[in-house]
Amino acid sequence: MLTARIGNTPLVRLRRVTEGLAPRVQVWAKLESFNPGGSVKDRAAFAIIRDAETSGRLRPGMRLLDSSSGNTGIAYGMIAAARGLHLTLCLPANANVERKKILRAYGVEIVETDPLEGSDGAIRQARAMAAATPERYLYLDQYSNPCNWMAHLHSTAPEIWRDTQGAVTHWVAGLGTTGTFVGTTRGLKGYNPDIHCVAVQPDAPFHGLEGLKFLETSIIPPIWDPSVADAHMAAPTEASITMMRRLAREEGLLAGVSSGAAVWAALKLAAGLEQGVVVTLLPDSGERYLSESHLWP
């Protein structure tokens, strides 16, 4: 079964971009592009759809509905196609060409929203559609759905603990829906409360870090729990893009720009340590951004 392939993604040690760190400091990256839908969002999307089915909320004839900047929508599309379900997705009109083509390949109905409103505009549109025709749509609401963070509590965190043999000392991840960080942090803290967990978001409201939110000026995801974070870091767009390119050219890891932000933060944190095992997560592959010439000159 396709969904059985979700999770258990590789954890690899970064070796070249980490030059200059203290000898007893390691930085590891979890490669979520190895999920069948190509991103970390496979985990939450599957948990959310499975809950919709088993709870009875998804009745015959209803369409799944949600908003997404891309990766969750693609994960939804893959899973919906495999299960014979229909999906409508509200997506900012400026989402890149790769994402739109993948969504259409899965048969997803796309409702494009104002690009100037970003992911928040897509959220508002999905909410309006669900409210207007509740008999037609089941609004999955990834930003509010507890299955989002619970997917990481039950999969991402145990995998990191297992693959580091319990040696992980620091966990660093970006904030979008916040589900990956919240769920994984809660899971890792359950194993060892002393693991230092750092949340990463852009350093400004207008940024180029696709998939990440500047929470101060965004609709706050109801699943976000600021109390779980031990620290916060603000990633600059240009530095994150530079790190994304370095990952490809120095580590052989073709990843997206949010991955660049996560590794930038992980290395900045690691530079202040004398010893430790820092784990971060690369949410997707750089293949979904190759049409964006400013990222790959």
Q: What kind and span of H or E run contains 201?
A: strand 196-202
What whole-number distance in Å separates Cα of residue 36 and Cα of residue 83?
A: 15
Residue 291 Cα distances to 32, 98, 101, angstroms? 21, 7, 12
- Residue 141 near residue 124 (C-beta atoms within 8 A): no
**Residue holding tokens 């948990």?**
47
What is the rounded distance in angstroms from the CA atom of residue 50 to the CA atom of residue 145?
A: 12
Question: Which tokens is 150 given?
Answer: 């619970």
Query: Considering only CA atoms, which of 13, 11, 9, 10 is closest in space to residue 35?
Result: 9
Strand partners, 113: 92
How far from 209 is each of 3, 59, 192, CA to CA, in Å?
28, 37, 31
Positions marked active-site: 41, 258
What number of other Cβ atoms are within 10 A of residue 142's Cβ? 26
Query: Hey, how many other C-beta atoms are within 10 angstroms of the C-beta on 272?
Result: 10
Nearest Cα neighbor of 160 from 280, 14, 291 is: 280
User: What is the secondary structure of 250-295 as a DSSP string?
Assistant: II---B-HHHHHHHHHHHHHHTT-SEEEEEEEE-BBGGGGTT-TTT
